Structure 1
Amino acid sequence: MCAAVLTLEAITLGLSTPVMVTVADVPLGTALALGLGLAVACIVAAGMLRKEWAYGLGWAIQVAAVALGLLVPVMFFLGALFGLLWGTAYGLGRRIERERAAAYAAFDAGEEPPAGGAPRAG
């Protein structure tokens, strides 16, 4: 879920580049570095989510997306929206991993898995 959020956010951040240039009068080089740089960071983080540091990068991207609102005010809203989506996906992912680990531990111990856990193999 986190990878999907970052991928959609990469599109939004990439599209913020022309908005920064035309609406906010940000110099082209700065707009490219910020908009496309953050978009590339989203793609890198989405691809590296097997590593724990990529989640930290994801949180940093959320902060940067909200801070981009200083240049393009609508990014305060979009950054906060993606931050909420990221936080929800992160929290749900952690919960699923905990429940999966508990179900596998119960299976290994020969017990019934917790409700909603992984089914027992035949």
Structure 2
Amino acid sequence: MRTLCASTLIGEFFVIGFAGLVAMKDDSLSLTTVWTVCGVAMLLSVLLCGLITRPGGLQLGWALQIALIASGFVVPVMFFLGATFAVLWWASLHYGRKIDEAKARWAAQAQARAAEAEAGQPG
């Protein structure tokens, strides 16, 4: 799960940066505001890569997805991109858990086979 979620978050890092470049063109927004908000969101996306398995990490990830969608009020294309990344975030969680479960099963089976092989050898 961690790999899929981290990949999604790194993609979001770049999208947030590009959205900041687009938002810079809006005369009603100061550059300081744009880059403070984008910088915090970009930093959060990178930090979340390491916090995914920690308590509250997944909830922070969902909060970032909601913030990305809400950023569509400033940069309209972000409604679409935010929703796309929210779906990718869900898929990363859903399929990542399935992959983790399958890996755990395979590891348990390999351990059982190794124990059987060791038990069957003369000592």
TM-score interval for Structure 1 and Structure 2 normalised by the shorter chain: 0.7 to 0.9
Specify which structure has the bigger relative contact order, considering alpha-carbon pairs within 8 angstroms and separated by 6 or more residues: 2
Name the structure where helix makes up a greater proportion of residues.
2
Match of 1:82 among 76, 80, 85: 85
Count of paired positions: 112
1:62 is matched with 65
Match of 2:55 among 52, 57, 60: 52
Q: Give the alignment's TM-score, normalised by structure 2.
A: 0.78
Q: Shift of residue 47 of structure 1? A: 2.0
Separation (CA, whole Å) in 2 of partners of 1:85 and 1:13:
15
Q: Shift of residue 37 of structure 1? A: 1.1
The answer as to 2:47 corresponding to 1:40 is no
Q: Shift of residue 75 of structure 1? A: 0.3
Q: Is the partner of 1:22 in helix, strand or coil?
A: coil
Match of 1:13 among 13, 16, 19: 16
Q: Do the aligned residues in 2 keep the contact of 1:24 with 1:72 (CA within 8 Å)?
A: no
- Compare CA radii of gyration and give the structure with the larger one: 2
Q: Is the partner of 1:52 in helix, strand or coil?
A: coil
Q: Give the alignment's TM-score, normalised by structure 1.
A: 0.79
- Identical positions, percent: 32
Q: Is the partner of 2:80 in helix, strand or coil?
A: helix
Instruction: Quickly say closer, same or farther: Cα 1:57–1:24, change in 2 above 3 A.
Output: farther
2:121 is matched with none
Q: Do the aligned residues in 2 keep the contact of 1:24 with 1:71 (CA within 8 Å)?
A: no
State the Cα RMSD in Å.
2.1
One-letter amino acid of the counterpart of residue 76, structure 2: P
Structure 1: stretches of 5+ with no match in the other structure: 111-119
Separation (CA, whole Å) in 2 of partners of 1:52 and 1:91:
17
Q: Do the aligned residues in 2 keep the contact of 1:66 with 1:75 (CA within 8 Å)?
A: yes
Deviations 1:64-116 (A, max 9, x none): 000000111000011011111111011011122233344555667x5xxxxxx
